[in-house]
Amino acid sequence: MIPQFYQKLRNVPPGRGAGPGTESAWFFSFWPLQIGGWGLTFLVPLLFLVTGSVTDSSTLCYGFARPLNGFLITLALRPCCSWTLARFGKHWLLVPVIFLVSLALAHVELMGVDWMILTFGFPAVTKETWIAIYFIRVAIFMIWLLLYFGIKSIKLHAEIEREFRQSELKLLRSQVNPHFLFNALATIMAVRKDEAMVSQVIQSLADYLRFSLAQESQDQFKHPLGQEVTALENYLLVEKIRFQEKLETRLAVSEEACAAQVPTALIQPLLENAIKYGQKTSPPPLCIAIEARLAEGRLLLMVENTGRWVEPHGSESIGLGITNLRKRLHLLYGDQAELTFDRTATAVRAQVSLPVSKTA
């Protein structure tokens, strides 16, 4: 997928950043560096003029012509560099090409300054001074080209990684809803002879899917935990109808935890796992408790069920939903999020700890 996205980025206009609106993207954008960099080169001849350390008029002319010429030349060079990077990428031949281009640009620019000096009647500089100025020009052009290709490559890589992470998150999130839909349909089949229960299950299913579709339409990977808790009440209603008196549940979610921004479908896979394996190992009724609270800027979430721990073996040991959740937490938080399981002889507890922010 990454090569395909890289191919698409070749058509991105020059200067587009990896993260529009972010501070780092602004800092590494083209114009601040272009104006600031060439502005600093203007300070060198200005310092020579103010301090009187250089009195030769021709040398000062070379110095003051440098920032303006460099700014205009590199501005015209920018589209060529952008095309080169998109066409050839990080090819090793870019290094010798950058050196040769710098030699050519420095020579052309100095020829133009020489013509200006002769036109205005300034004396010609010595050969040694001219050669020194030439290699300084070469070094400056090389630095500009290396910085341009380096920063552009970093931003391109960040764009590719960001798009890849978002695509993977969308894929993982899309796996959640079919799982619940399958369970709900199985429940409808189980109570199909009771019209009242069928109607109740369908209404709860519709409410839950409405919540899920709202998340999809917003193209967001986080939402307030309270929204999922409300949606899970519909989920639990479906499961209670399915298992009748064999299932008991308890929810204890603080108001602060409800306001916390969390990944989509944070509790659901843990709850599904608790019901699935609890029904297999717990004496009836299966008791499930869901608790959530904030502590020191972190969300502490617990889903506990009666029953025994099922030792991992094969692909169904902890279920697709738990594996899915682990991947999403890692993509969103890296090492800052934790998902652990504690077990005793009579209960299994899943615990999630992650940094949170509250809704505005």
Say what the pTM is.
Answer: 0.53
Q: State the pLDDT confidence band at 23, using cuts at 50, 70 and 90.
A: very low
Among 170-179, 205-214, 240-249, the least confident range: 170-179
Give the other-Cβ count within 10 Å of 34's Cβ. Answer: 18
pLDDT value at residue 10: 39
Return the CATH number of 175-355, one of 3.20.20.220, 3.30.565.10, 3.40.50.720, 1.10.540.10.
3.30.565.10
Higher pLDDT, 140 or 327: 140
pLDDT value at residue 253: 94
CA atoms within 13 A on the CB side of 218: 11
Beta bridge partners of 260: 358
Tokens 């395909």 -> residue: 4
- Predicted confidence (pLDDT) per residue in 182-196, tens digit: 777 887 887 788 888
Q: What is the mean pLDDT of residues 106-129?
A: 87
Query: Are 346 and 306 contacting, i.e. CB atoms less than 8 angstroms apart?
Result: yes
Question: 176-205 burial by CB neighbour count: b if 16+ within 10 A, else e?
Answer: bbebbeebbeebbebbeeeeebbebbeebb
- The DSSP output letter for 192 is T
Tokens encoding 234: 């519909």
Higher pLDDT, 41 or 209: 41
Tokens encoding 339: 């998902």
Q: List the 338-343 sheet strands across, edge first.
A: 247-253, 286-295, 298-306, 347-355, 338-343
Q: What is the mean pLDDT of residues 49-66?
A: 86
Please check the confidence at residue 319 and state whether its pLDDT lies above 70. Answer: no
Please check the confidence at residue 79 and state whether its pLDDT lies above 80. Answer: yes
Q: Where are the domains of the chain?
A: 2-164, 175-355
